[in-house]
Amino acid sequence: MIVQLENEIQNQIAEQNQTAINEVLSGLLQRQKELPCKYFYDKRGAELFDEICELPEYYLTRTELEIMKKYAGEMADCIGPRAAVIEYGSGSAVKTQILLQALDKPSLYVPMDISAEYLEYSVRKLSRHFPHLQILPVQGDFTDYLNLAPYTRWASKKIIYFPGSTIGNFRPAAAKRLLRQMFTQCGPGGGVLIGVDLLKEKRILEAAYNDSRGVTAEFNLNLLQHLNDVYGSDFNSQAFRHRAVFNSRQSRVEMYLVSLYAQTVAIWDRLVFFKPNESILTECSYKYSITSFKRLAQQSGFTAQAVWADANHSFSIHFLNRP
Ligand code: AVJ
């Protein structure tokens, strides 16, 4: 059963979209040019991301899925019965299906995603698999706070599910801010189930973001096409190349689009100049140790109640509890 969003919330989301162009422009006007990585996920971007998840070098999705399959029962025990599950960046909701299957009478599922295509697909799939579950899809950026209180009155508690290590896309201060938002949103007695990629050898990390088939390169370059579609900019994606490096000092993989030559790009009411080899930082993927992530969670008010990992300690899933 699919629940409709109230008008007021729909308006709230429309307003938030207005500020998006400013965010894009201000990023391009910085000394190190930057673009928000959420723009990867248009229809083509979502398809490419699903392809990335199948790549031999991209161990993240495969490993997280393996941890979910093995420990979903223990996760469900931590969460308890009749929980409302709010998912940040639900994507194709493959891991969600495992979680919902294991949970005792989940009362509501709120998938949030920036991609309308992803949302439509996952809602259709999950409503088929869980015909009695109430589903409230929200299209938009999960960093925009939504007060879900009117919808969760009948739930025993609110659980935010945030898989994929998407928390890694946020710099430490922003990650802390997002965890605080989750702390507020889940309420007393609520919690967060969150996937976090772990620090490992540079060689393995760089291969994961620099696959031999070039799918990640295409995913990165598609960002420019998406901006052209949404804002009428005139980026030529053939005039840039993909680059991914592990920055060990900051414990993050950085993805860049590098300008092949001097060029000018028009976007909205601005011209943006590029020198040869000048880069745009398009994504950071922070890598944590289990202890460094627990510390971050505790600084946001949570109790780090449980953590699961694969045998190689490539990836972790934490359950954070709001006392
Ligand atoms: C979806 C944010 C987890 O950072 O690993 C995959 C996105 N970027 N390959 C990541 C991504 C390049 C991914 N997250």
Which tens digit of pLDDT belongs to each residue from 40-75?
999 999 999 999 999 999 999 999 999 999 999 999
Q: Is 52's C-beta closer than 6 angstroms to any atom of ligand 1?
A: yes
pLDDT at 106: 97
pLDDT at 225 over 90: yes
> What value does the mean pLDDT of the chain take?
95
pLDDT at 149: 87
pLDDT at 16 over 80: no
Instruction: Report CA-CA distances (Å) from 75 to 81, 92, 111, 115, 275.
Output: 12, 20, 19, 27, 50
CA 311 to chain centre: 24
Nearest to 189 by CA among 156, 147, 151: 156
pLDDT at 18: 62
Tell how strand 252-259 and strand 263-267 pair up. Answer: unpaired
Q: Which pLDDT band holds residue 20 (cuts at 50, 70, 90)?
A: confident
pLDDT at 186: 96
- Ligand 1 pocket check: which of 37, 118, 166, 242 to mutate, most ligand atoms within 8 Å of Cβ? 166
pLDDT at 3: 66
pLDDT at 317: 99
- Ligand 1 pocket check: which of 285, 287, 317 to mutate, most ligand atoms within 8 Å of Cβ? 285
105 CA to centre of ligand 1 in angstroms: 31
What are the backbone dihedrals phi and psi of residue 96, each rounded to the nearest 5 degrees, phi first?
A: -60, -40
- Ligand 1 pocket check: which of 49, 61, 215, 257 to mutate, most ligand atoms within 8 Å of Cβ? 49
Q: Is 220's C-beta closer than 6 angstroms to any atom of ligand 1?
A: no
pLDDT at 271 over 60: yes
What are the backbone dihedrals phi and psi of residue 135, each rounded to the nearest 5 degrees, phi first?
A: -125, 130
285 CA to centre of ligand 1 in angstroms: 7
Q: Which pLDDT band holds residue 19 (cuts at 50, 70, 90)?
A: confident
Handedness of CA 273, 275, 280, 286 (dihedral sign): negative
116 CA to centre of ligand 1 in angstroms: 19
What's the chain's length in residues?
323
Q: Which pLDDT band holds residue 11 (cuts at 50, 70, 90)?
A: low
What value does the mean pLDDT take over residues 84-108? 97
Cβ-proximal residues to 125 (8 Å cutoff; 6+ apart), any chain: 93, 97
Q: Is 91's C-beta closer than 6 angstroms to any atom of ligand 1?
A: no
- Per residue in 143-155, pLDDT (tens digit) is 999 888 889 988 9
pLDDT at 13: 58
pLDDT at 246: 99
Nearest CA to ligand 1 atom 14: 166
What ligand 1 atom has the least distance to the C-alpha of 219?
A: 12
203 CA to centre of ligand 1 in angstroms: 17
Q: Which residue has the tokens 């599950």?
A: 85
Q: Which pLDDT band holds residue 36 (cuts at 50, 70, 90)?
A: very high
What ligand 1 atom has the least distance to the C-alpha of 208?
A: 9
What are the backbone dihedrals phi and psi of residue 153, each rounded to the nearest 5 degrees, phi first?
A: -55, -30
